[in-house]
Every structure is written in C-alpha cells, then in structure tokens.
Amino acid sequence: MKSVFSRGRAAWMGVCGALAALAVGWGTAGLMAADEIARQTTKQAEIKTADGKTSMHYVLYLPSGYENNVDQNYALVLFLHGAGERGTDLTKVLKHGPPKLAESKDFPCIIVSPQCAEGQRWEAAALSQLLNQVERELRVDPNRIYVTGLSMGGYGTWNLIAAEPNRFAAAAPICGGGQPDTAEKIKHLPIWVFHGTDDKAVPHSASEAMVKALKEAGSNVRFTSYQGVGHDSWTATYNDPVFWEWLLSQERKSK
C-alpha cells in the first residue's frame, strides 16, 4: 500500500501552505478545558511496570477521514512534552508542539501525545508499550512511525530511538540530549536535531555531542542551530512546513 504522503503529496503541500500562512496565529491559541477537547480525545493505556500496572494518559488526534477510509493505514507521530507539562491535567499537553497545533490545524497523520507523571522522566519501556497498544487499536502504517519531543521530551526521543532503533522511520529531538555511545545503533535512522545556541536550560552542546557522534558513525543527521535563541527552539521548528514535509516523507528502511 502506498503511503499517505506518496498518494497525496499535493494535498499535503496545500496543508503546508496553510500552516505557513497561519503560523503567526499558532502562538496565541488558548488552551481548552479538559471536557472541551473536541479535535482531540483523551485516552489511556495500561502499562506494566516493575511495581505492577499503571495507566499512561494521552491525547489522541485522528486525521480527517480516518473513520471512513477503512482500508488506509496512517502515519503516526509520537510527541513527548517537556518537564513543565507533567502531571494529571491533560490540557497541559496542549501547551506546545503538535497537540497544540492540532487543536486548530489539520494533519494527515495520527498524533499521540502522552503525559508523563509528575516527578518522572520518559521511560522507553513504557512508551514502547503505549505504541504497541495504539498499533493494536488503530490503523497505523508500521513503516511511518515518528517520534519527536522537546526539552525533557528531546531526551526522551533520544532514549527511545536508542532502545528501539528499528521501530521508527525518523526522529526529531528538540533541545534535548542523549548518550553519544548509542550513535552506532541509530546511525541508519533519519534524524533532524534542533537547538538554540543560547539555551540556558539544556546546553546546546548536548545536541552537538550527539550530532558529532552520529556523523563520526556515518550518519546523515541534520542539525539546525537557532542562533541567539534560548530554550524555546520548538516553536520555530513545529511552525515550519518544511519540517513536517521532511518528517512525513520518511519511511522505515531495513538496516
């Protein structure tokens, strides 16, 4: 089956044009109360841990036409938020990135935006279980699963692709950091890294170290450094139609 991107590239380019035209308005969108989330729904997954079972709550976006196009599988974007959005109030997850944009913009993909518990960090094992459940319940194209995240979610992105290097079609860690010694495992994966040079919360050098290790391993990693930008390097990234075109055009390849 052809991917959504290959079958409908012209339609997606139209979406990109609309995203570019409306990018200014994204920064002023307000949050909705939990019972008012209309374009996205709240869900939960049962996660097994060393201490038993727990629930991971998440916000789910389904593209227009999903219910009717029963023979079509869709790309999936997993979004990992930063430390400030942890807790039990799912409206916090709508504060930044793809779930914020999906409140008012149409995307041609499934978007899954889980919430990390207060005081916790993203754990690759739990996220893998979440993806397993979503793949069982929805029509997901297994060759077009992507992960992106900001700050703590940037770290989570690096950790997840290192734990499951052959699951994803592409990754986009933003203002995060990882373990350079994992570069050999993930060198085959299309990765686009973003970071502000004046970031005081997570040093720019954290991304530089990962990019350096990947390049030394033979990766074609991309790196965008926002000159003079502080910690918020995600707004410009997620508002850029070029980023979305790149991400959704990637397909998983055999090593």
pLDDT of 253 reads 81
Q: How far is CA 168 from CA 58, 111, 188, 221, 255, in A?
A: 19, 14, 11, 15, 12
**237 pLDDT above the threshold of 90:** yes
Query: How large a percentage of the chain has pLDDT more than 70?
Result: 84
110-167 pLDDT, tens per residue? 999 999 999 999 999 999 999 999 999 999 999 999 999 999 999 999 999 999 999 9
CB 93 within 8 A of CB 80: no
- 254 falls in which pLDDT band (50, 70, 90)? low
77-111 pLDDT, tens per residue? 999 999 999 999 999 999 999 999 999 999 999 99
216-230 pLDDT, tens per residue? 999 999 999 999 999
**How many Å is the maximal CA-CA distance in the chain?**
49
Run of H or E residues at 144: strand 140-150
**Helix ranges, 51-123 (H):** 97-101
List, in order of start, the domains of the chain with CATH numbers: 4-26+35-249 (3.40.50.1820)
Lowest mean pLDDT among 46-50, 162-166, 236-240: 46-50
Mean pLDDT of 184-206: 98
pLDDT of 135 reads 97
pTM reported for the whole predicted model: 0.85
Q: How far apart are CA 26 and CA 94, in angstroms?
A: 12
49-61 pLDDT, tens per residue? 777 788 899 999 9
- 252 falls in which pLDDT band (50, 70, 90)? very high
pLDDT of 128 reads 97
- 1 falls in which pLDDT band (50, 70, 90)? very low
- 211 falls in which pLDDT band (50, 70, 90)? very high
pLDDT of 153 reads 98
- 18 falls in which pLDDT band (50, 70, 90)? very low
pLDDT of 131 reads 97
pLDDT of 51 reads 75
Lowest mean pLDDT among 29-38, 62-71, 237-246: 29-38
Q: How far apart are CA 199 and CA 195, in angstroms?
A: 8
Q: Which residues are 46's β-sheet partners?
A: 55
Single-letter code of the amino acid located at 37: I
Mean pLDDT of 200-219: 98
